Structure formats: structure tokens, C-alpha cells
């Protein structure tokens, strides 16, 4: 392939690196935020600087029979963009971010590149008193996040983040640049809102509908020993489901919490609630039920309702998912309650080989309003949802932590036939992992759209074992 490389290098403003070039290994490992870097080796890496670069790279790869994988930037636990051979198209240079005023009765819009992160959007929108359901972790880029559906801040009220995608620009397998929306190429637009890493084109831009910034954001929380998981969830889950949709409630099961005045270090369960309200009074009223825990005296820590910003929420999340660590993750949608699922997985959390590992389980993580689930491949697939993270720092512990993750998920999905969320599921566990992230009808339609738009299978689809 080396003799052909200069042809694309001459056409692009960005960077081309071939396997064997100086700097290749740093570039390859830099494609994965996770410190666990899969041993998969693209033949070429192209870091696009412009949309035209994407067109040139896709066309060049197609003409030479090279398959294409895509990375937007930010997180990817499984290193899905790294594939053997072929061309890895790195879109992390496409970070344009502009705000367009409202037109008529419609909301203001943001025009963003796929590499714009949640913290980038917050920094651009907050001064203009605007907001968007950005990902919980600040360094998540919108490209993969929105393509997978997007479970963002305040999604219980605003809907999956992809519900606010009004238009995309994409480079297709035949080298065309197309605009997709409800009315233009609606099939590709539907797939772009949920297909995740199996999407059959390279998205170079999104037009996002925006929301007025909440007048008040308040957060509160209670932390208990993990041994109290059953009574904590039995008490808090019904409350969370009755609260207004602008209150986001989540359980966090941590393998090791710090010592407090009333408890030694040990595994913990935290119930946290954040209100995104129209006034401070409304936010405080919504959070009042969390002040009346009948066994509140057993809490090892209590956070009284306090104001916080989106940036502050991101700071808290960044502490849960620190950089320069090794990660593995898996998800599960279930028809069962949080009480049932979290009680089952609590023992596994307490036995985690790393004290940094955790389980996150938001109650109703996304709106069930049919209007906010319209025209998208994404759908919530259960009454409860959890995502399990193995987090560690020593490569010598890789096997122990990978085994722990799979054992922990097996505790809540013993038959291995549960539903998953494509953004964070462990795709290498079994070949059906991607398929079980969708309803059967959605999966079939995604395959049909892939066949129509990418008949020669230029773009890599879902990672598999």
C-alpha cells in the first residue's frame, strides 16, 4: 500500500500516517482514550482537518479496496475504531462550534463538528443562557455520543440527546457529501440517531436544537454502606419515578468509598438527585423527598441541596472517570426493578479487584415520551438500566478486571440474553451484543440501510469477538 499513500497525502490538509512510519504507534494508541489499547493495527491513519479531507480519504480508501473505521474523539471503552488493516479516519480535528439564532418559532441551534466535546458545548452555550443534554463525562465528543442516541444530563426531561439532532452532514461510501434530516435522506437520518459505531457513513457535522438554560440546577445526595443497597433502592426508586421529569436520579455503587466520621473505608451506594428547574424554589421543592429518608441516620455522608452548574456537574463526573486509567464497561437494560438488579450486583461490586470500579444506574435515564423517541434507531429497552465500569491502573491486572466485569454483568443477566446500550456495551463479549442493543425490527432496518448506502461494506460495522 505504501506506493499509493502519497496520492491521498497530496490531497488532504490534515495528516497521513502509515504503519511503519515514525510516530505511528503513538498515533495509534492516541486513538483510544482508554489506557487499554487493543492490539489491532490500521494500515493508514488519516487525521482530517476539513470535510474535504474526509471526502478524499473515503474515496481513496474505496478505490484501493481498503475498509474504513472512524473516530470522532473522546471516549471509546472498547477501542472500536482500531481495526486491522484498512484506514482509520480520525475526525478529532473537526471541532467547529457555532450558534445560530432562532428562526421563526423554532429554538436556537448549534452547528458543531463531531469532535466537539460536552465541555466545549457547555462553554459555548452557558454564556448565551442556552443548554443541551451533553454527555455526563466532559471529554465525550458529540460524534459517537449522538450517533449512539445519547443519555445526557436532563435526558429524562429533554429526551435522548439525538432527539435534538435536526440535521447531519455526512460523507457516504460513494464519496458524496449529503445533508440528512426528516425530509432529506430520512432513512440515513433515522439511522444516524442511534446506530452508533455501525453507522454507514462519516458524519462531519450536526445541527442541534438547543434549550433555554435551566434557571436553577440543584443537586443533593446520600451515601450508605453498600450492605444497605436493598433498602436504599426500595426507598429511593419509587420516589425517583414520581418526581418531575426535570429531576435526574441515579444510584452509584462504588467498590471502595473513603472513610468518614461514622464509617471506615468500604463499598458504598450513593443515591444522587439533580433538579434542572425553572426556579430555585421549584428545584428545592422537587428535591424535598430526599431529605426525609426514614433511615437517614445510617448515611455515611449527606449532601444537602446545593446549586451547581453544568461545568460543575462535569467536574464531578471527571473524578469518577479519571484519565490515564484502564477501563472496561458493559451495560444492561432490564424489565426488572433497580432494587432487584442492584441487590444482585452489589456482592460483585464489593468483591471488585479494583477499588475504583463502580456501577452507575440512573432511574428512567431517558424520556419515554413517544414524541421524543420519534424517528430514531435508539430506544430504551427496559424498565431499569445500569452500566458497569471496571477501572484500574496496572496492566498486570487486566485479566482480573476483565473477568470481574463479565462476572458482575452475568450476576444480573445470567442467561446472557439481556438488552444493551450500544454506546458502552462490551461488544467483544459475544457476536450478538450489537444486535441485542436494538429491537428486532430496528436491527433489520439498520441492515437494510447499510446495504443500500454501503453495498460494498466500505465502513466497518460493529466490533465483534
Average of per-residue pLDDT across 375-395? 97
CA-closest candidate to residue 214, choices 104, 106, 122: 122
Q: What is the mean pLDDT of residues 344-355?
A: 97
Residues 182 and 80 in one domain: no
Mean pLDDT of 414-424: 95
Between 61 and 104, where is the model more confident?
61
Q: Could you count the other beta carbons within 10 Å of the beta carbon of residue 437? A: 30
Confidence label for 106 from pLDDT (cuts 50, 70 and 90): confident
**Which pairs with CB-CB distance under 8 Å and at least 24 residues apart come from 116-125?**
116/141, 116/142, 117/73, 117/74, 117/141, 117/142, 118/142, 118/145, 118/152, 118/314, 119/311, 119/314, 120/95, 121/97, 122/310, 122/311, 122/314, 123/311, 124/97, 124/99, 125/99, 125/210, 125/213
Do residue 303 and residue 432 come from a single domain?
yes
* Grid cell digits, residue 297: 441516620
**Per-residue model confidence (pLDDT) at position 10:** 66
CATH number at residue 159: 3.30.465.10
Predicted local distance difference test score (pLDDT) of residue 73: 80
Give the chain's domain count: 3
Residues 399 and 298 both lie in one domain: yes
Residue 152 lies in a domain: yes
Report how far residue 191's alpha carbon sits from residue 201's, in angstroms, rounded to the nearest whole number: 10
- Is 74 inside a domain boundary? yes
| Residue 462 is assigned to a structural domain of this protein | no
Residues 294 and 341 in one domain: yes
Task: Please compute the mean of the pLDDT values over residues 91-119 and round it to a whole number.
Answer: 92
Kindly state whether residue 461 falls inside one of the protein's structural domains.
no
Q: SS3 for 208?
A: strand
104 pLDDT exceeds 80?
Answer: no
Q: Is 159 in the same domain as 11?
A: no
- 458 falls within a domain: no
Q: Which domain holds residue 230?
A: 216-437
Q: Do 166 and 63 reside in the same domain of the chain?
A: no
Instruction: Tell me: pLDDT of 103 over 90.
Output: no
d(CA 32, CA 20): 19
- CATH number of the domain bearing residue 23: 3.30.43.10
Output the domain CATH number for residue 239: 3.40.462.20
**Domain match, 203 and 328 both:** no
Cα 144 to Cα 204: distance, rounded to the nearest angstrom: 12
* 258 and 399 together in one domain: yes
3-class secondary-structure state, position 370: helix
pLDDT band of residue 2 (cuts 50, 70, 90) is: very low
Q: Of 90, 116, 132, at which residue does a domain stop? A: 90
Dig out the grid coordinates for 346 from the structure. 452489589
Strands 44-47 and 87-90 turn out to be: parallel
Q: Which among 23, 312, 287 is positioned nearest to 153, based on CA atoms?
A: 312
Q: What pLDDT score was predicted for residue 22? A: 95
Residue recorded with cell 462535569: 314
The answer to whether 222 touches 292, Cβ cutoff 8 Å, is no
Confidence of residue 3 (pLDDT cuts 50, 70, 90): very low
Q: pTM (2 decimals)?
A: 0.95
> Does an H or E element contain 248, and which?
strand 247-257
Mean pLDDT, all residues of the chain: 95
Q: Angle at which helices 118-125 and 310-320 pack, to 10 degrees?
A: 160
As given in the structure block, the three cell numbers for residue 321 are 472517570
Of the three residues 63, 90, 117, the one that is the final residue of a domain is: 90
Same-domain check for residues 329 and 222: yes
User: In the prediction, which pLDDT does 12 show?
Assistant: 87
Reported as a single tens digit per residue, the pLDDT across 245-276 is 999 999 999 999 999 988 999 999 999 999 99
Higher pLDDT among residues 79 and 98, named by residue: 98
Q: Assess whether 201 and 241 both reside in one domain.
A: no
- Where does the pLDDT of residue 9 fall: very low under 50, low under 70, confident under 90, or very high at 90 and above? low
Mean pLDDT of 304-325: 95
The answer to whether 77 touches 424, Cβ cutoff 8 Å, is yes
**Per-residue model confidence as pLDDT tens digits over 160-184:** 999 999 999 999 999 999 999 999 9
Coil vs helix vs strand at 275: strand
Residue 78: predicted pLDDT: 84
Q: Does any domain span residue 285?
A: yes
Q: How far is CA 256 from CA 165, 264, 330, 349, in A?
A: 38, 10, 20, 9
The answer to the question of residue 443 being in a domain is no
Q: pLDDT tens digit string along 273-306?
A: 999 999 999 999 999 999 999 999 999 999 999 9
Give the mean pLDDT of 144-171: 98
Last residue of a domain, one of 213, 240, 261: 213
Tell whether the model's pLDDT for residue 1 goes beyond 60.
no
460 located within any domain: no
Nearest to 163 by CA among 378, 333, 331: 378
Q: Residue 390, SS3? A: strand
What whole-number distance in Å separates Cα of residue 18 and Cα of residue 1?
9
Please check whether residues 101 and 204 belong to one and the same domain.
Answer: yes
Q: How much is the pLDDT for 453?
A: 98
- Cα dihedral sign, 161-241-424-189: negative
**Same structural domain for residues 255 and 205?**
no
Amino acid at each position: 500500500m505504501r506506493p499509493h499513500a502519497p496520492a491521498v497525502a497530496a490531497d488532504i490538509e490534515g495528516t497521513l500516517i502509515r504503519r511503519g512510519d515514525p510516530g505511528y504507534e503513538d498515533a495509534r494508541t492516541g486513538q483510544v482514550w482508554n489506557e487499554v489499547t487493543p492490539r489491532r493495527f490500521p494500515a493508514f491513519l488519516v487525521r482530517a482537518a476539513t470535510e474535504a479531507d474526509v471526502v478524499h480519504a473515503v474515496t481513496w480508501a474505496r478505490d484501493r479496496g481498503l475498509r474504513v473505521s472512524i473516530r470522532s474523539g473522546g471516549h471509546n471503552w472498547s477501542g472500536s475504531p482500531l481495526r486491522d488493516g484498512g484506514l482509520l479516519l480520525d475526525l478529532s480535528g473537526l471541532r467547529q462550534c457555532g450558534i445560530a439564532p432562532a428562526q421563526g418559532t423554532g429554538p436556537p441551534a448549534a452547528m458543531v463538528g463531531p469532535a466537539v466535546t460536552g465541555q466545549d458545548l457547555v462553554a459555548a452555550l452557558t454564556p448565551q443562557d442556552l443548554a443541551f443534554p451533553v454527555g455526563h463525562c466532559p471529554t465525550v465528543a458529540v460524534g459517537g455520543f449522538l450517533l449512539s442516541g445519547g443519555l445526557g444530563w436532563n435526558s429524562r426531561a429533554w429526551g435522548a440527546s439525538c432527539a435534538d439532532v435536526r440535521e447531519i452532514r455526512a460523507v457516504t461510501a460513494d464519496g458524496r457529501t449529503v445533508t440528512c434530516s426528516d425530509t432529506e435522506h430520512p432513512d440515513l437520518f433515522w439511522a444516524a440517531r442511534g446506530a452508533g459505531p455501525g453507522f454507514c457513513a462519516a458524519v462531519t457535522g450536526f445541527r442541534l436544537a438547543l434549550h433555554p438554560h435551566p434557571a436553577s440546577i440543584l443537586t443533593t445526595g446520600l451515601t450508605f454502606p453498600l450492605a444497605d443497597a436493598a433498602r436504599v433502592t426500595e426507598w429511593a426508586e419509587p420516589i425517583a419515578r414520581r418526581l418531575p421529569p426535570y429531576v435526574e436520579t441515579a444510584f452509584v455503587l462504588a467498590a471502595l468509598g473513603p472513610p468518614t466520621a461514622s464509617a471506615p473505608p468500604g463499598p458504598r451506594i450513593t443515591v444522587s438527585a439533580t433538579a434542572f428547574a425553572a426556579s430555585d424554589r421549584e428545584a428545592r421543592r422537587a428535591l424535598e423527598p430526599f431529605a426525609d429518608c426514614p433511615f437517614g441516620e445510617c448515611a455515611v455522608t449527606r449532601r444537602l441541596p446545593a446549586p451547581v452548574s453544568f461545568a460543575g456537574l462535569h467536574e464531578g463526573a471527571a473524578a469518577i472517570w479519571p484519565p490515564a486509567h484502564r477501563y472496561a464497561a458493559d451495560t444492561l437494560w432490564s424489565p426488572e426493578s433497580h432494587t432487584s438488579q442492584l441487590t444482585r450486583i452489589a456482592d460483585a461490586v464489593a468483591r471488585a479487584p479494583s477499588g475504583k470500579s463502580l456501577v452507575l444506574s440512573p432511574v428512567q435515564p431517558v424520556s419515554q415520551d413517544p414524541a421524543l423517541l420519534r424517528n430514531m434507531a435508539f430506544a430504551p429497552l427496559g424498565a431499569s438500566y445500569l452500566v458497569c465500569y471496571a477501572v484500574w491502573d496496572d496492566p498486570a491486572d487486566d485479566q482480573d478486571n476483565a473477568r470481574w466485569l463479565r462476572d458482575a454483568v452475568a450476576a444480573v443477566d445470567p442467561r446472557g440474553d439481556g438488552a444493551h446500550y450500544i454506546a458502552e456495551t462490551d461488544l467483544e463479549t459475544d457476536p450478538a451484543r450489537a444486535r441485542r442493543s436494538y429491537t428486532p425490527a430496528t436491527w433489520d432496518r439498520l441492515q437494510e440501510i447499510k446495504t443500500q448506502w454501503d453495498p460494498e461494506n466500505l465502513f466497518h460495522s460493529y466490533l465483534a469477538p
